[in-house]
Structure 1
Amino acid sequence: MKTRLSEDGTKLIATYELHPFDFDRSDKKLSDRIGVACVAAGRVQAWTFLRMLEFARIAAIRPLIKEHTGPQNDEATAFVRYQEVEFAPRFYAAVKPDSSLIMSTYLGYVGRSSLFYNYDIRSSTSNDVIGRSSTQMVRVNRQTRRPIAWPDALIENLSKEGLDRPTIPGAFKERPAPMFACKVTVNNSDIDVQQHTNQSVYLRYCLDAAAVGVRKNVFSVVKDTALCPIRKVGILYQREALIGDELTVEMWEDQGCAETLCFQIKRGEEDITQVTVQFYVEKAKL
């Protein structure tokens, strides 16, 4: 990954060179599904893309945040509470081996204890925006895990007057009986530097579990999660999962939008993370 600051210093621009090993299995039917040419060499999996966003966000901390606050010694850390990614149909045509993904990362809404990173995603093959993402970060005390305020200098310098706080979805209001469920165990490779399960890992758990559900023909619309292109992903943190935890992934179709799958990850009776994934599907099946 190569990074640079925009001329006005408000954006970190990260460039990822894509190689064949970044891509999963091929999808020759993709052009029929979403009306654009497909990439025979496969596609970047959504959880891999989330890791790219994470690396860009980490690289942006120093120039976009610490530049205004300086070093902090107040026993604080920050975690991702909510993350949303949307892929345009042309994402799947533009992103191919030996091209590059270009992510412009910048701060949006800055509140008292949370802030939002926004991302505009482009490809080296086109200057069009092919994806967008937003990530809510919450600042907390390392010991108590309770929210604490960002430094005054950050709020004063970066809060934008008149900018509304983005709406974050709450816990699922309706949770029907799961259409399918399976268990996973948090492994050593699933945790991040804070010893917590990474959000990209939760998405992988969900999509792997959904692939098993597809083979059992439990969904009415989504018939191939391995190859069906993803339109939108939303991931909401609820509790922490640590190495060795046994988790249950429950899933069902959204009652008003069958091409959207809902996932609840649980540890026993505790809700850990909820995920929604909306797919591009064939019009004939809508």
Structure 2
Amino acid sequence: MVSRLFCGRIEIDVSNMKYLAHSDYYFSYVSGPHYDDLDKNDKISPWNLLFHIETELSGPHNPDATSKLYPAFYFPVSKTESTVIGFTRFIQMTILPAYHQQSHWNLTIQKDHWYSYLGNTSYCQDVTVKNALTDEPLVEAVFHDVNVDFETRQPSKLPEKWFREISSDQLTRSKPPQGFKQPIRPEKSYSFTTTVTSSCSDSNQHQNMAIYLKNCWDAGSAAACSNQLSQFNTDLAYYNLKQVSFLYQGEVVIGDILQVACWEHPSKSKMLCFAMTKGSEVVGQCQMEFYPNSPSMLKSNHVKAKL
């Protein structure tokens, strides 16, 4: 976690969630697990963890009450209100061992967020997730977003206000993360098909970025359970995730049919690679690395029966 001093502090409670606004560009968000957060291994699933972080990145959900309190985080998507919005290009979440070593049933988590990089048309936001009661770090994440004109879908210059108001010592990155190099997809890689539904879409009318991650997770679990992988033989929920990286390359909307290819990295143990396509267009790439010797998958002899 990065500790700094900021002028001003606001506290508000929204539906049992606590926001601590240290400034317009750095604040914390505290909550417990939500309904349906936990997977079959009683852990907050990776995509639900991403939902928690997204809630923080966008600020509280009452725009009338919070748009003035959190101007840097509240992006109205109506064309009549604003024609510019931040679209995520790349995310990376690093899951620390402590995340897998405690119960998630009543885990109170705190997300500390700050702007860490400002470019011409893009910016980075860093997040640290920790146990709110013990202060123990659990997850580190970085988001690389691009300021995009809502109508033209072209990059747009960042507001000058951000450069004036975000302190220089808060910018902990000299450049945005560059993503990853994806190995060549084997000819016989496992292919998973899914359709974008209305429940998967967000207020921008396209599939929410956390659902992209869920699609890949489902593809990996299906490949493992059908014996298509050499190092994974059951649902991914029973393996301890170490790091996930996702490169967003295209938008998908309700009704789109997606193909998600899954294969094992040829030179990195316990790493899965994914390519998501819509027709001939690649709309996303993902890599997931898992800790070796995940004991949780060995707890039951009836794991597959629970799927």
Please confirm whether the aligned pair reaches a TM-score higher than 0.5, indicating the same fold. yes
Whether contact under 8 Å (1:121, 1:132) holds in the other structure is yes
TM-score norm. by structure 1 comes to 0.84
Aligned length: 265
Mapping of 1:158-197 within 5 angstroms? Answer: 158=166, 160=168, 163-169=173-179, 172=182, 174-197=184-207
- Quick check: 1:17 aligned with 2:27? no
> Structure 1 vs Structure 2: percent identity of aligned residues?
22
One-letter amino acid of the structure 1 residue matched with residue 157 of structure 2: A
Q: Which runs of 5+ in 1 are unaligned?
A: 27-41
Distance 2:145 2:46 in 1: 20
**Segment of structure 1 superposing worse, 252-261 or 94-103:** 94-103
The alignment partner of 1:81 has SS state of strand
Q: Which residue of 1 aligns with 2:114?
A: 106
Letter in 1 for 2:33: L
User: Match of 1:120, as an amino acid?
Assistant: T
CA distance in 1, matches of 2:24, 2:176: 23
Where does residue 43 of structure 2 map in the other structure? 43
1:275 equivalenced with 2:286 (yes/no):
yes
Could you tell me how far apart the structure 2 residues matched to 1:231 and 1:19 are? 22
Alignment deviations for residues 50-105 of structure 1 (CA, whole Å, 9 cap, x no partner):
101100000189556549xxxx9662111111111111111122352222011001
Instruction: Specify the alignment match of 1:33 in structure 2.
Output: none
Q: Is the partner of 1:86 in helix, strand or coil?
A: strand
Specify the code of the residue in structure 1 equivalent to 2:195.
Answer: T
The residue identity in structure 2 corresponding to 1:128 is E
- Equivalent residues of 2:39, 2:237 under 8 A apart: no
Aligned residue in 2 for 1:206: 216
3-state SS of the aligned residue for 2:270? strand
Separation of aligned partners in 2, 1:214 and 1:46: 18
Q: 1:141 aligns with which of 130, 134, 149?
A: 149
Q: Judge conservation of contact 1:182–1:209 (CA < 8 Å) in 2.
A: yes
Work out the CA distance in 2 between the residues paired with 1:109 and 1:118. 9
Q: Deviations over 1:201-244 (max 9, x none)?
A: 11111111111111111112123312111111111110111100
Structure 2: give runs of 5+ residues left out of the alignment: 1-16, 61-65, 74-79, 296-307
**Which residue number in structure 1 is paired with residue 99 of structure 2?**
91
C-alpha deviation, 1:155, in angstroms: 2.2
Which of 241, 246, 251 in structure 1 is aligned with 2:257? 246
Q: Which moved more, 1:255-264 or 1:93-102?
A: 93-102
Residue by residue, what CA displacement relative to the aligned partner does 1:244-275 show, whole Å, maximum 9, x if unpaired?
00110001111211311011000111001111
Is the contact between residue 109 and residue 159 of structure 1 (CA under 8 Å) also seen in structure 2?
Answer: no
Q: Which amino acid aligns with 1:226?
A: A
SS at match of 2:238: coil
Query: 1:44 & 1:170 partners in 2: Cα distance?
Result: 25
What is the aligned partner in structure 2 of residue 119 from structure 1?
127
- Distance between the aligned counterparts of 1:239 and 1:171, measured in 2? 18
Give the distance between the partners of 1:115 and 1:65, measured in 2 at CA: 15
- Show CA shifts across 1:19-77 (max 9, x none): 67532223xxxxxxxxxxxxxxx11111110101100000189556549xxxx966211
**Normalising by structure 2, what TM-score?**
0.79
1: CA distance, partners of 2:95 / 2:115: 20
The answer as to whether partners of 1:18 and 1:96 remain within 8 angstroms in 2 is: yes
One-letter amino acid matched to 2:194: V
Higher relative contact order (CA 8 A, sep 6+): 1
In the alignment, the residues of structure 1 paired with residue 211 and residue 72 of structure 2 have an alpha-carbon distance, to the nearest angstrom, of 28
Q: 2:303: which partner in 1?
A: none
Q: Give the match for residue 59 of structure 2.
A: 59
Indicate the RMSD between aligned Cα atoms, in angstroms: 2.6
What's the CA shift string for 1:183-212, capped at 9, x where partnerless?
110001011100111111111111111111
Q: Distance in 2 between matches of 1:22 and 1:148?
A: 35
Task: Report the AA paired with residue 45 of structure 1.
Answer: S
Deviation at 1:11, TM superposition (A): 2.3
CA contact (8 A) 1:102 1:123 kept: yes
1:216–1:163 distance in 2 versus 1, CA, 3 Å: closer
| Cα distance, 1:104–1:234 mapped onto 2, change above 3 Å | same
Do the aligned partners of 1:222 and 1:279 also contact (CA within 8 Å) in 2? no
- Correspondent of 1:4 among 20, 35, 45: 20
